[in-house]
């Protein structure tokens, strides 16, 4: 496969993964698919999980991936970017994508490890309070679903956060691999050309 065709093969899934990351990040602002918690959080009450506010899915997995995806896609097309210089520039853009994917992956992993912000209580803390009950568990709550019942509100917030942060992690891993491949592909394209004329 020539380097130009490889770029096209890489760009399309990057668009999809960027869209998935952006959607997941936006959804995380509305736990339980309700807007009231986002509104209360804007009033100064902690209702949204802290890692969501870092907007890693929107910025890292979204915008920082869309920018290189567009350029990588252009290197596959028959225009001004489909040349050695365009392939060289794609290495730099892919490096930006790697940084974005690493940021998204790191924040998603942290979000999974700390767990959601919720109204919770248990035997040791019988008075319901807003907080992050699993923050000191180092992610061990993920394997003990009985602990998930500590969170009373928003409804099913643990499942909601685990599902979306896990999806963000998978998307970030795919983005990371694709951008790393494009860095190598861009190097070969810079040396050998895009073979777009063949």
Give me the pLDDT at residue 8, please: 74
pLDDT tens for 86-113 read 777 888 888 999 999 999 999 999 999 9
* SS3 per residue for 139-173: CHHHHCHHHHHHEEECCCHHHHHHHHHHHHHHHHH
Tens digit of each residue's pLDDT (9 = 90 or more) over 124-139: 778 888 888 888 877 7
Q: Is residue 79 over pLDDT 60? A: no
Name the percent of the chain lying above pLDDT 70: 87
pLDDT of residue 129: 86
Spatial contact of 20 and 101, defined as CB atoms under 8 Å apart: no
Q: What per-residue confidence (pLDDT) applies to 198?
A: 45
**pLDDT class of 147 with cuts at 50, 70, 90:** confident
Confidence bin at 47 (pLDDT 50/70/90) = confident
147 vs 66, 70, 115, 142, 177, CA distance in Å? 38, 44, 11, 9, 34
CA distance 75 to 89: 9
Helix, strand or coil for residue 35? coil
Residue 120: which of 147, 151, 149 has the closest Cα?
151
Q: Are 4 and 81 in contact (CB under 8 A)?
A: no
How sure is the predictor about 194, in pLDDT bands with cuts at 50, 70 and 90? low
Beta bridge partners of 154: none
Mean pLDDT of all residues in 140-159: 87
**pLDDT exceeds cutoff 60 at 32:** yes
Whole-angstrom Cα Rg for the chain: 21
């Amino acid at each position: 496969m020539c380097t130009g065709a490889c770029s096209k093969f890489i760009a399309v899934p990057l668009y999809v993964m960027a869209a998935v990351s952006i959607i997941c990040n936006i959804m995380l602002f509305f736990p339980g698919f309700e807007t009231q918690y986002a509104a209360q959080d804007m009033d100064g009450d902690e209702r949204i999980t802290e890692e969501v506010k870092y907007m890693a899915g929107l910025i890292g997995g979204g915008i920082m991936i869309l920018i290189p995806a567009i350029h990588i896609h252009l290197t596959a097309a028959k225009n001004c970017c489909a040349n050695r210089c365009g392939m060289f520039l794609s290495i730099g853009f892919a490096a930006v994508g790697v940084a974005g994917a690493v940021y998204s992956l790191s924040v998603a992993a942290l979000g999974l490890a700390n767990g959601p912000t919720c109204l919770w209580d248990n035997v040791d803390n019988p008075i319901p309070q807003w907080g992050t009950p699993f923050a000191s568990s180092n992610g061990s709550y993920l394997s003990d679903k009985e602990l998930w019942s500590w969170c009373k509100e928003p409804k099913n917030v643990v499942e909601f956060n685990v599902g979306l942060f896990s999806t963000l992690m998978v998307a970030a891993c795919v983005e990371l691999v694709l951008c790393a491949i494009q860095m190598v592909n861009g190097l070969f394209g810079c040396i050998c050309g895009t073979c777009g004329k063949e």
